[in-house]
Amino acid sequence: MHFEANPPEVNSGNMHAGPGPDSIWVAAHAWRSLGSEMTAVQRMFSRTLLCLMDAWQGPAATQVMEATKPFVRWLNELCEQLHEVEMQIYEIERAYEWAYHQVVPPAQIYTNRAERRMLIRNNALGRYNAQIADLDQQYEDFWDEDGEVMRDYRLRVSEALAQLTPWKPPPPIANKTGLVAPVSLGTAEPAAMVPSRTGT
């Protein structure tokens, strides 16, 4: 979008008549909550693995630990990504607040145009030509100022979004270590797969 092509009534009007920062704050809070929940999951998962390793030794335990390492790394990266999303949303909110206060107030633009219309109506013999020219120059300055602010605003938002990395799907937790051979149910003795009344 080329904000420089919009008159100041449009750029300033959009900034002041929009939904404001509330929706941005809501989004940041939602990402923070999700990040907190996933961090709790990550800590619980890590504690469970440590407790399991304390009580379980041997090749099978090593296999479980190796099989879960990719998932643990993914979980750690996910928590970092969620935190980064929250931080960049706050950066977008700061950019919005800056642009909101930097654009020309709509009331100032309205006053400029209203005074110009009044002077034109009463401009007999060109007595107000100088004042009208001054108002037109001020309006052009408003146009340039708003265009520059919105261009910088767009740049700051784009930079914040560029910090976000694509999401990765969770890796499977599977036996690929070769430490313990997988058991094939097809090779087990049928009698061993049927529970007895005595539990043996």
Domain locations in the chain as residue ranges: 17-163
Question: Do residues 175 and 63 touch, judged by C-beta distance below 8 A?
Answer: yes
Tell me, what's the pLDDT at 130? 97
Tell me, what's the pLDDT at 188? 44
CB neighbours of 170 closer than 8 A, spacing ≥ 6? 71, 74, 75
Name the nearest CA neighbour of 22 among 83, 97, 103: 97
Q: How does pLDDT run across 164-183, given as a tens digit for each residue?
A: 989 889 888 765 555 445 44
For the chain, helix (H) and strand (E) counts, in that order, are 5, 0
CB neighbours of 90 closer than 8 A, spacing ≥ 6? 28
Query: pTM, whole model, 2 decimals?
Result: 0.74
Region 114-138 average pLDDT:
96
Into which CATH architecture does domain 17-163 fall? Answer: Up-down Bundle (1.20)
Q: Residue 118 pLDDT more than 70?
A: yes
Q: How does pLDDT run across 3-48, given as a tens digit for each residue?
A: 889 999 999 999 999 788 888 999 999 999 999 999 999 899 888 8
pLDDT band at 86 (very low <50, low <70, confident <90, very high): very high
Quick one: angle between helices 129-162 and 8-17, nearest 10?
50
